[in-house]
Amino acid sequence: MNPMSRFDTFLFDLDGTLLDSVGDLVTSINLLRREFDLAALDRPTVASYVGDGANLLVQRALPNGFYRDEHLLRFLAIYQEHLTEETVPFPGIIPFLEACSDKALAVVTNKPIALTLPLLDQLGLQRFFPVVIGGDSAPTKKPDPAPVRLALERLGKTPDSAVMIGDHINDLLAGQAAGTTTCFCNWGMGSHRGTPRDLEADKPTDLQQLLLG
Strand, helix or coil for residue 86 = coil
Task: Mark whether 13 is an active-site residue.
Answer: yes
Q: Alpha-carbon distance 135 to 137, whole Å?
A: 6
* Beta bridge pairs of residue 185: 201
Q: Alpha-carbon distance 178 to 103, whole Å?
A: 19
> Would you state the pLDDT for residue 6?
79
Among 13, 15, 20, 52, the one annotated catalytic: 13
> Would you state the pLDDT for residue 21?
97
Each residue of 65-119: pLDDT tens digit?
999 999 999 999 999 999 999 999 999 999 999 999 999 999 999 999 999 999 9
Strand, helix or coil for residue 20 = strand
Strand 88-89 with 19-20, pairing: antiparallel
Weakly modelled stretches of the chain, pLDDT under 70: 1-5
Residue type, 180: T
> Would you state the pLDDT for residue 1?
36
Q: List the domains of the chain with CATH numbers.
A: 3-20+87-212 (3.40.50.1000), 22-81 (1.10.150)
Q: Alpha-carbon distance 23 to 3, whole Å?
A: 37
